[in-house]
């Protein structure tokens, strides 16, 4: 167990409740058990902490001398717990790509092609935009039958037999609906699966000549793309 030291400002009250003096003391506390459950959707954390309080420099044990002192003592320990939880929360750590990542699309079509089966997830709004892009706004149902498929509760664009996206032009190897392309395509290569670690980024770069080339995207821009990735990409 590791002993830590901190300062506790005690307001000592007399029996009548009036303030008699202010005392600044140093004490040691030992972490016996420490667990916390950090909830990313909340500004607070749920903590469990059991501590053993040490002694004052003069050898006397620290004991609350009034309800108010006890309250201050408890508040101080609660703050210590919260600070510790924040320090250990992975979301507060700077990601490995904090200085940004470079990318410039070469329109090679590699991210839109096989081999192997893949998925380009589309929302109802994106389906409407794609249908309009190829002049099928008035044929919504026909567009969905021809160009989309259901995968569980999600909808994906269909592919050619070789794994290429249905909207990848076989001759030019470019996207035929580029201006209306889905969010999944717009946010490439800044997907959670690609930026999980330097290793996963390097793997993506092996298949995408645009990675590590061209414009440097800032951390804020990358985070904006990641927020659009719901874990399906």
Q: Does residue 37 lie within any of the structural domains?
A: yes
Q: Kindly state whether residues 107 and 71 are assigned to the same domain.
A: no
**Which of 92, 127, 151 is the C-terminal boundary of a domain?**
92
- Region 10-31: what's the mean pLDDT? 37
Q: What is the pTM of this model?
A: 0.59
Choose the final residue of a domain: 92, 109, 137.
92
pLDDT tens readout for residues 177-197: 999 999 999 999 999 999 999
Res 12 pLDDT > 90: no
Domain boundary among 92, 115, 148: 92
The helix/strand count (H/E) of the chain reads as 7, 7
* The two three-digit tokens of residue 8, written as one number: 């506790």
Per-residue pLDDT band at 149 (split at 50, 70, 90): very high
State whether 113 and 221 are in the same domain.
Answer: yes
The reply to whether 114 and 218 lie within a common domain is yes
Q: Is the pLDDT of residue 120 over 80?
A: yes
**Residue ranges making up the domain that contains 37:** 3-92
The pLDDT score that the predictor gives to residue 36 is 36
pLDDT band at 13 (very low <50, low <70, confident <90, very high): very low
Same-domain pairing of 159 and 63: no
On whether residue 233 sits in a domain, the answer given is: no
Would you mind telling me the total number of residues written for the chain in this entry?
A: 233
For the beta carbon of residue 143, count every other beta carbon within 10 angstroms.
19
Closest CA to 34 of 73, 9, 10, 1: 1
Same domain, 126 and 162: yes
Q: Are residues 131 and 79 in the same domain?
A: no
**What tokens appear for 142 in the block?**
């026909």
Least confident among 40-54, 164-178, 191-205 = 40-54
For residues 72 and 58, give the distance between their C-alpha atoms in angstroms, rounded to a whole number: 21
Q: Are residues 18 and 109 in the same domain?
A: no
* Domains: count for the chain: 2
Q: For the chain, report the end-to-end CA distance as a whole number of angstroms.
A: 44
Average pLDDT of the residues in 72-86:
61
Point out the least confidently predicted range of 67-71, 142-146, 166-170, 197-201: 67-71
Per-residue pLDDT tens over the stretch 200-223: 999 999 999 999 999 999 999 999
Beta carbons within 8 Å of 137's beta carbon, 6+ residues apart? 128, 131
Same domain, 189 and 214: yes
Identify whether residues 78 and 155 lie together within a single domain: no
Q: Which pLDDT score is estimated for 192?
A: 95
């Amino acid at each position: 167990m590791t002993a830590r030291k901190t300062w506790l400002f005690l307001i000592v009250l007399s029996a009548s409740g009036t303030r008699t003096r202010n005392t600044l003391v140093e004490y040691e506390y030992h972490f016996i058990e420490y667990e916390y459950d950090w909830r990313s959707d909340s500004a607070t954390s749920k903590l469990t902490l059991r501590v053993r309080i040490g002694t004052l420099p003069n050898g006397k044990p620290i004991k609350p001398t009034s309800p108010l002192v006890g309250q201050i003592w408890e508040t101080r320990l609660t703050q210590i717990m919260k600070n510790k939880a924040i320090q250990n929360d992975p979301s507060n750590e700077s990601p490995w790509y904090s200085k940004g990542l470079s990318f410039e699309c070469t329109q090679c079509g590699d991210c839109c092609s096989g081999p192997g089966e893949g998925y380009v997830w589309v929302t109802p709004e994106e389906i409407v935009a794609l249908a309009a892009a190829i002049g099928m706004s008035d044929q919504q149902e026909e567009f969905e039958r021809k160009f989309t498929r259901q995968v569980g509760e999600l909808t994906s664009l269909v592919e050619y037999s070789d794994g290429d996206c249905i909207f990848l032009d076989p001759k030019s190897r470019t996207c035929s609906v580029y201006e209306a392309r889905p969010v999944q395509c717009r946010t490439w290569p800044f997907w959670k699966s690609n930026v999980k670690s330097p290793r996963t980024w390097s793997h993506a770069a092996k298949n995408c000549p645009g990675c590590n080339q061209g414009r440097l995207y800032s951390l804020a821009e990358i985070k904006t793309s990641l927020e659009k990735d719901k874990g399906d990409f």
